[in-house]
Amino acid sequence: KETKDQLIIDAGQKHFGATMCKSCGMIYTASNPEDELQHVQHHHRFLEGIKYAGWKKERVVAEFWDGKIVLVLPHDPGYAIKKVEDVQELVDHELGFQQVVPRCPNKTKTFLFISDEKRVVGCLIAEPIKQAFRVLSEPAGLESPSSKECHRAWQCSDVPEPAVCGISRIWVFRLKRRKRIARRLVDTLRNRFMFGCFLSTNEIAFSDPTPDGKLFATKYCNT
């Protein structure tokens, strides 16, 4: 059963009155019919997308007190591939990514974090790569109002460095963030990407990171 309790977010200005759905995490204005309709549509699609009924054949690669990580490989049964596609669609929608065709679909590894409530609350999609370009630390003042446009244009080195594994997507359900789910997904990836070795943080690369992704990656790679 879902509660109708809603969290009021004071964004400091006219947005007072915005609510966040406690089930799907969407932030919307409850007093606005258009917004409400959008929410209802998103709500069902989203919760359906992250629902995990459990599979006959599942590859559990890590287990925790609050869930487990399941690995899906390209030749897995159709129901597993379908779930990965559904989750990726939700993630891409949230990230504003266009449908991107993976470079080597036969070598993609997808890690799903399944919560105790039987939901996919985290997803990591990885692929083999040969090189990556290091993100250079931001020049001071990048966050200043005048440079809002370059929110995603981190400066990259033009010297390629060898790498092994590219993280093309990492995502955690909004209501489950900051519980180390992303960290546990990357730890598991490093352990599982190549047989018999634990990848160093230098061997993995995040592709086109969002501001959230960059904050996470910076923290993860320094600890």
Q: Give the binding site for ligand ACO (CB under 6 A).
A: 95, 167, 169-172, 177-183, 206-207, 209-210, 212-213, 215-216, 219-220
**What burial class does residue 47 get, using C-beta atoms within 10 Å of its C-beta: 0-12 exposed, 13-18 middle, 19+ buried?**
middle
Nearest to 198 by CA among 206, 186, 207: 186
Q: Which conformational region is residue 198 in: left (phi greater than 0), alpha (psi within -120 to 50 degrees), or beta? A: beta
Q: Binding segment for Zn ion among 36-44, 96-104, 160-168, 192-200 (CB under 5 A)?
A: 36-44
| Site residue total, Zn ion (CB under 5 A) | 4
Residue 43 interacting with Zn ion (CB under 5 A): yes
Q: Around Cβ 62, how many Cβ atoms within 10 Å?
A: 17
Residue 205 interacting with Zn ion (CB under 5 A): no
Partner that binds at residue 24, options Zn ion, ligand ACO, none, CB closer than 5 to 8 Å by kind: Zn ion
Contact 202, 165 (CB under 8 A): no
Residue 182 interacting with Zn ion (CB under 5 A): no
Question: What are the structure tokens assigned to 206, written together?
Answer: 């995040």
Residue 24 interacting with Zn ion (CB under 5 A): yes
What is the nearest approach in angstroms of ligand ACO to the Cβ of residue 31?
A: 27
156 vs 215, beta carbon nearer ligand ACO:
215
